[in-house]
């Protein structure tokens, strides 16, 4: 049996999806309206799940307050109300899809969370569009 704990956070950000190596026609064909010149916004939900043994002294895997503090400081503060194409150094040169964000957030959070506990990161771009990164 595995016990998991999820912290959820919200952020709002703008982005434009494109591959700068492609011409307009190919970008439109692949990205559609997500390639619109001046971008568009999303209200994202980030879910960070840890897994592990429950400490008998605290009844917790991790203190959820501490988990939320790390997520807020290391991720949310760096992406909320930003343009993901221009304003976020750790996304520089990357196409800011939900998958790209989930991978980037994993790389940031993994070293901040006690060893091996980070289990899954989900980035919900909309309620119908979710990218997931999970420990193998």
Residues making contact with Ni ion (CB under 5 A): 34
The pair of three-digit structure tokens given for residue 130, joined into one six-digit string: 């979710």
Q: Tell me which of 38, 81, 99, 120 is the catalytic residue.
A: 81
Sequential DSSP letters for 21-35: TS-HHHHHHHHGGGG
* Contact of 47 with 76, CB cutoff 8 Å: no
Q: Tell me which of 47, 92, 125, 127 is the catalytic residue.
A: 125
Q: Is 34 a catalytic residue?
A: yes
Q: Is 99 a catalytic residue?
A: no
Closer residue to Ni ion, CB minimum distance, 34 or 108: 34
Which H or E element spans position 48?
A: strand 40-51
Closer residue to Ni ion, CB minimum distance, 13 or 50: 13
Catalytic residues: 34, 81, 125
């Amino acid at each position: 049996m595995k016990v998991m704990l999820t912290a959820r956070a919200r952020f709002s950000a703008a982005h434009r999806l494109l591959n700068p190596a492609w011409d307009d026609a190919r970008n439109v064909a692949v990205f559609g309206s997500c390639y619109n010149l001046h971008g568009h916004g999303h209200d994202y939900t980030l879910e960070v799940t840890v897994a592990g043994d429950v400490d008998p002294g605290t009844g917790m895997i991790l203190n959820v307050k501490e988990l939320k503090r790390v997520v807020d400081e290391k991720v949310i503060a760096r992406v909320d109300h930003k343009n993901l194409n221009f304003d976020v150094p750790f996304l520089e040169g990357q196409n800011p899809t939900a998958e790209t964000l989930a991978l980037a957030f994993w790389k940031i959070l993994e070293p901040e969370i006690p060893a091996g506990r980070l289990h899954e990161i989900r980035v919900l771009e909309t309620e119908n569009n979710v990218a997931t990164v999970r420990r193998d």
